[in-house]
Amino acid sequence: MCFAHIRRLSAPRFGLHKSRPGFTGRCTFEGTNTQKQMPIVSAATRENFQIAFGAIRSQKLRATLTILIIAFGIMCLVGIITVAQAMENKINNEFSRLGSNTFTVYSANSRSEGGHGGRSEKNFEPFSYDEALAFTSSYKVDAYISMSAFGGLVVVEHGSEKTNPNITLLGCDAKYFELSSYSIASGRNFSANDITSGNNVIILGKDIVDKLFPPSVEPVGKEVSVADKKYVVIGTLEPKGNTFGFAGDNQCMIPVSNLRRNFGSAITEYSINVRVKSGSDMDKAVSEAKGLLRIVRGDRPGQEDSFEIEKSDSLAAEVIGLTDNLKFGAIFIGLITLASAGIGLMNIMLVSVSERTREIGVRKSIGASSTVIKRQFLIESVVIGQIGGITGIMMGIALANIISTYVGFGIAMPWFWMFFGALLCFLVSVVSGYYPASKAARLDPIEALRYE
């Protein structure tokens, strides 16, 4: 004989489902084998979820405040890490265009203001134009070599239009574009005659072009003024975007020899960029550069180097390392906020247990076990935590990507930290809800029914 369904009569409001307490009841008889189909989610669990949402709706203010505290903590955690990841992606993209076989030469005290590793800072002279020229002409390694110099912040004018005084003026040679992340959009690069003669020609960034010329006007061939000096536009740059607050499209380039003549001074620093054609020759190229630089700079035997050689990959690693501080800060803020949210969540669950003592007594008196009661309050705590976590994750990603797009980092999706944030909210809600749930499960039904 096979019983297809076993039913119990009970009130669904108090946790004992009236149709299928343990299994769905499909039972077949084949010889001596009996097959039972178990439900994926038990009726009691489904009912506990319904009661959890009902309890949250009945105490909207307290639940909303707790959800907002949790959401704020997760928003800080996910948001800051999203910005940091977008920053890393931007840095990696910029330096990947340079390649790992690139290095730059500076004077020893041009990159920082303090001492190096506890050593006293010496006042080394900046690289002069003649020293940089001597190095580029004498370096025998098979590599691309470029010389450049910073000419300051200037105003660029065309007719009645002029830019803000925040345009970066850079002097460089024709090979600079092969060693940098800039590329020509229209027009041409500097010619050999432009470099040797120091012609008054200029290449403009996109923001400058947009400011000075209407969309229908081709800037190449037009004349602009830089610090009251006339320059002919020979090219424009591809859009580059902003990085770390610096407008990459607010750049204009002139021949390095022209910058020396019109804007140079005794303190102008001429830097040298080198890209080795074969990555396996990188160490040899750096060693050759050190030997030649000591000769060009006049460093005596036993004297420390008056220059620094910085590889592009080490510079990228150094800059990316700064984002670790942002991540540690985000984790610290997130954990502190979640700890506060956990205390608030525990408080709201304790109040809920106190307000629903009679309900707990009724449920126990008609057969609900302590495990069912405990599970109900844990589910309520987890539901609140997950609502807050999901809200915080969405807010953090949206806000962070708005900020990242505005400053030019682009969009990032920190999938790991999204799942980690959800897991963190789950753990906080379980820890915060366990004591109130245990307290509810231990209530004596007789005392609970007498509770006022």
Q: Cα–Cα distance between 416 and 418 in angstroms, integer?
A: 5
pTM: 0.55
Kindly tell me if the per-residue pLDDT of 15 is higher than 50: no
Q: Cα–Cα distance between 146 and 138 in angstroms, integer?
A: 13
- Of residues 292, 285, 308, the one with CA closest to residue 131: 292
Kindly tell me if the per-residue pLDDT of 258 is higher than 90: yes
- The residue among 288 and 325 whose pLDDT is bigger is 288
Interior CA angle at 165 toward 161 and 167, to 5°? Answer: 90
Kindly tell me if the per-residue pLDDT of 81 is higher than 70: yes
Q: Is the dihedral of CA 284, 287, 293, 294 positive or negative?
A: negative
Residue 84: per-residue pLDDT: 79
Residue 121: per-residue pLDDT: 54
Range from 47-51, 214-218, 374-378 that averages highest in pLDDT: 214-218
Burial of residue 243 (CB within 10 Å: 0-12, 13-18, 19+) is: middle
* pLDDT band, very low/low/confident/very high, at 18 (cuts 50, 70, 90): very low
Residue 274: per-residue pLDDT: 86
Are the C-beta atoms of residues 293 and 307 closer than 8 Å to each other?
A: yes
Kindly tell me if the per-residue pLDDT of 169 is higher than 60: yes
Q: Which range among 83-87, 256-260, 412-416 shows the weakest confidence by mean pLDDT?
A: 83-87
Distance of CA 193 to the CA centre of its chain: 44
Q: What is the mean pLDDT of residues 203-207?
A: 91
Residue 62: per-residue pLDDT: 76
Q: What is the 3-state secondary structure (H, E, C) of the chain?
A: CCCCCCCCCCCHHHCCCCCCCCCCCCEEEECCEEEECCCCCCHHHHHHHHHHHHHHHHCHHHHHHHHHHHHHHHHHHHHHHHHHHHHHHHHHHHHHHHCCCEEEEEECCCCCCCCECCECCCCCCCCCHHHHHHHHHHCCCCEEEEEEEEEEEECEEECCEECCCCEEEEEECCCHHHHCCCCEEEECCCCHHHHHHCCCEEEECHHHHHHHCCCCCCCCCCEEEECCEEEEEEEEECCCCEECCEECCCEEEEEHHHHHHHCCCCCCCEEEEEEECCHHHHHHHHHHHHHHHHHHHCCCCCCCCCEEEEEHHHHHHHHHHHHHHHHHHHHHHHHHHHHHHHHHHHHHHHHHHHHCHHHHHHHHHCCCCHHHHHHHHHHHHHHHHHHHHHHHHHHHHHHHHHHHHHHCCCCCCCHHHHHHHHHHHHHHHHHHHHHHHHHHHCCCHHHHHCCC
Residue 9: per-residue pLDDT: 34
Q: What is the mean pLDDT of residues 83-102?
A: 69
Kindly tell me if the per-residue pLDDT of 255 is higher than 90: yes
Residue 414: per-residue pLDDT: 83
- Of all residues in the chain, the percent with pLDDT exceeding 90 is 13
* pLDDT band, very low/low/confident/very high, at 312 (cuts 50, 70, 90): low
Q: Which range among 71-80, 195-204, 327-336 shows the weakest confidence by mean pLDDT?
A: 327-336
Residue 406: per-residue pLDDT: 78
Residue 254: per-residue pLDDT: 94
